[in-house]
Chains A and B, each alone.
Chain A
Amino acid sequence: MKQSRRNFLKFAGLSAAGLCLAPATAAMASGGGTSKEGHAVVNSNSLHAKRWAMVIDTRKLNTEEAIEALAETCHHIHNVPTIESDQNIKWMWTGSYGEVFPEQENNFPSEDQEKHKFPLLCNHCEFPSCVRVCPTKATFKRADGIVAMDYHRCIGCRYCMAACPYGSRSFNFMDPRTHLDMDKINTKFPTRMRGVVEKCNFCVERLAVGELPACAEKSGGSIVFGDLQDPDSNVRKALRENFTIRRKPTAGTEPGVYYII
C-alpha cells in the first residue's frame, strides 16, 4: 500500500516536472486550483533551488573514458540516439581545452591542460540567448534557472542553435527513434520526433522526484550540483574553495556551469 502510494507520488511529481515537456497538460495540473481532480500532487521529495548550478572538477574528471561514461548514462536515460554524422545529437560530450575555452587559450599550455578532456553540456545560462530568440517560447527559463524545452511547441526553426554561443543544442534532422534501440529505451522519458531541437535539461525529471542529475550522481563527487543562491550550498562551497572559470564570459550569458581547472 505504502509502496504504491510512493509510486503514485513519484508519478505525479514526474507529471509536474513535465511542465517543460507538455505545458498544456502541466498548466492544467499545476494551475487547476479550482477543480479537485486537476490538482497536482507534487512529490514531497522533489528538490528545489533558487538557481540550480553545476561545478565540475576537471582535476578529477578529465579523461575521455570517464566523461563518455557519464554521457552514455545521460543519453541512455534521456533516449538520446547515437548517430554517426555531423547531424548527431549530444546532451553531454567531450572537448579539448581549446574547444571548450576557445578564447582563453595559452600559447604554451601545461601538459595537463593539453592532455585533459573537458565535459560539455548546456550551461543553463542566466541570460540565455537561446530563450531570447525563440519565436514560440518552446525554449524557456524556469524560475529555478533551468533552461527547459517544450518539444511539442518547437517549430524547428533552429534560431536557438544560431544564437547559442556554446553549441549546446542539437536538431533532430531525422527521426531519432530509428537510431534508438526501442526495446531498451527509458520508457519514463519521452522520445522526440524529427524536426525539433533538444539539449541537456539539467535532469529536471530527476530533480522532481528528489534525485540529482544523473551525471552528477555518477561522477563520484567530481560534479557537484546545487543552489547558487544559497551561500551554504555545496556549489557555493566548491566555488569558494577553488579557482573556477566559465565558458565564453564575453558572450554575456552568465553560464550556470563552472569548471575547476
Chain B
Amino acid sequence: MLEKALKGGPKYWAWIGFLLLVIASGFCVYLGQLKEGMTITGLSRDVSWGFYIAQFTYLVGLAASGVMIVLPYYFHHYKKFKGMVIMGEFMAIAAVVMCLGFIIVDIGQPQRMLNIIFHPTPNSILFWDMIVLNGYLILNVVIGWTCLECERQRVETPKWIKPLAYTSIVWAFSIHTVTAFLYAGLPGRHYWLTAILAARFLASAFCSGPAILLLVVFLVRKITKYEPGKGAIGTLTTIITYAMCVNVFFFLLEVFTAFYSNMPGHIHPLAYLFAGSHGHHELVPWMWTAAIFAILSLALLIPPKLRYNQKLLPWSLAILVIATWIDKGLGLLIGGFTPNPFNEITVYWPTGRELMVSMMVYALGALTLTVLYKIATDVKRELGELTTPD
C-alpha cells in the first residue's frame, strides 16, 4: 500500500515539499542545539522543562484520543464510526511520532538515550512512559495497517485483530495516565501534585484530541471528498462537548481545593498564572484567553442548535483546541515550575530557535499524517467509498 504515497498530484507534492523544507530548516537549528547545548532554549536552572515537554504532553493526549472512536466502534458496535476508525488510528500514530520527537529534542545527551533500555529502572515513571508510548505506537501501526489492507483486499479482518484492538483501547488510557504520573508524583511541585491530574489529562485529551481529528478530517473532506458521515460527526461532537464539560469541571475542582483550603503552596501557581505575582504577569493574558475560550467553546457546543451547525462547528472546535492547548501546552508546565523551590519566580519563555525545533517535530508529524491519510483515502477511493476529486 505504501506505493500510494508516491503517487499524487502537484498539490500533494507541493505540501510534502513544504513540510520537508520546514523539517530541514528546523533540523539545522536542532544541529545548532546539539552543538551548543540546550542553552539555545529559554530554559533555566529553575524552569528546567518547557515548550518541548509541554508539546509532548499535549500530543500524548492527541494520541490517546483515538480511543474515543475506537471504543464506541469495538465495545458498542457503533457502526457509524467505521469509516473514521482508521483516521483515529493513523492520527494516533502521527501523534506518537511527534511525542517521541519532542522527547528526543528535549534531552541533553540524545546519543545516550538507549541507557533507558540498557539500565531499566522500573521505579522511574519515564521508563514506563517509554514502554507504553512505544507499545501504543506498535499497536496502532499493526491494527491500522492490517485493517486497511484487509479492506483493500475485500477480506475479513483476521481474528487476532480484535483482542489487539481491545488491548489498544485500554492501552490508550494508560499512555495518558502514565504521562500524568510523570508529573503527579513529584513532591514540591504543587501545581502537579494532585490526584486528579491523570483524570484531568484524560478529560482534556478526549475533548481536544477528537476536535483536532475532526478539523483535520474536515480538511481531508475538502481535498479528497472523503465523507466521514453526518452521524459520525454528530456523535463525535457530542463526545467532545461532554469531555470539555468534564475538563472544565475538573479544573474548577483544583481551584476550589486551592483557594478554600487557603494553602499557600496550592494557591501560588494558580495566582501566578491568572493574576501574576512578584510583579510578573507574563502568563496572565494567555491564561485568561484560555479561560474565556473554554467557556466560549462550551457556549457554542452545548446548545444542540449551535452544535449541529456545520458552518459554526469548525470555529467552535478551533476555539476549544486553543483553550486546551494554552492550559496544557503552556500553563501546566510553567505553573509547575513557578514559583521555584525557593518561592521565587524565574520567568520562562520559549526562544525562536526552540520554536523552530518544535516546528520541525510538528512538521514531521504532519508528514506522517499526510502520508498515512493519503494511503487511507486512496484505498477508500478504490473501494468506491469516495468520489474522485475534480
> Footprint of B on A, CB under 8 Å?
85-90, 95, 98-100, 102-103, 129, 132-138, 153-159, 161-167, 170-175, 193-197, 248, 250-253
Contact = CB atoms under 8 A, between A and B. Distances in A.
A102 B37 contact: no
Interface stretch (B1-9, B39-47, B66-74, B168-176): B39-47
A172 to B, nearest CB: 7
Given A99-B342, A103-B265, A174-B37, A137 B121 contact: yes
A194 B40 CA distance: 12
A202 B194 CA distance: 33
Given A102-B343, A133-B124, A194-B37, A162 B48 contact: yes
B108 A98 contact: no
A58 to B, nearest CB: 16
Contacts of A163: 186-187
Nearest to B103: A157
Contact of A162 (B108, B189, B265): B189
Interface of B: 36-39, 41, 43-46, 48-49, 106-110, 112-113, 115-116, 118-119, 121, 123-127, 130, 182-183, 185-189, 264-265, 336-337, 340-344, 346
Which of B43, B44, B109: most chain A CB closer than 10 A? B109
Contacts of B187: 129, 163, 165, 248, 250-253
10 residue pairs, one from A and one from B, having the closest CB atoms: A156-B108, A165-B188, A195-B108, A86-B44, A167-B341, A99-B342, A194-B37, A102-B343, A135-B126, A251-B187
A155 B342 contact: no
Given A90-B45, A155-B109, A173-B43, A134 B121 contact: yes
Contacts of B39: 87, 173-174
Highest count of chain A CB atoms <10 Å: which of B46, B108, B112: B108
Contacts of B48: 158, 161-162, 171
Given A98-B343, A102-B342, A166-B341, A173 B115 contact: no
Nearest to A132: B123
Contacts of B264: 103
Given A136-B121, A251-B188, A153 B341 contact: no
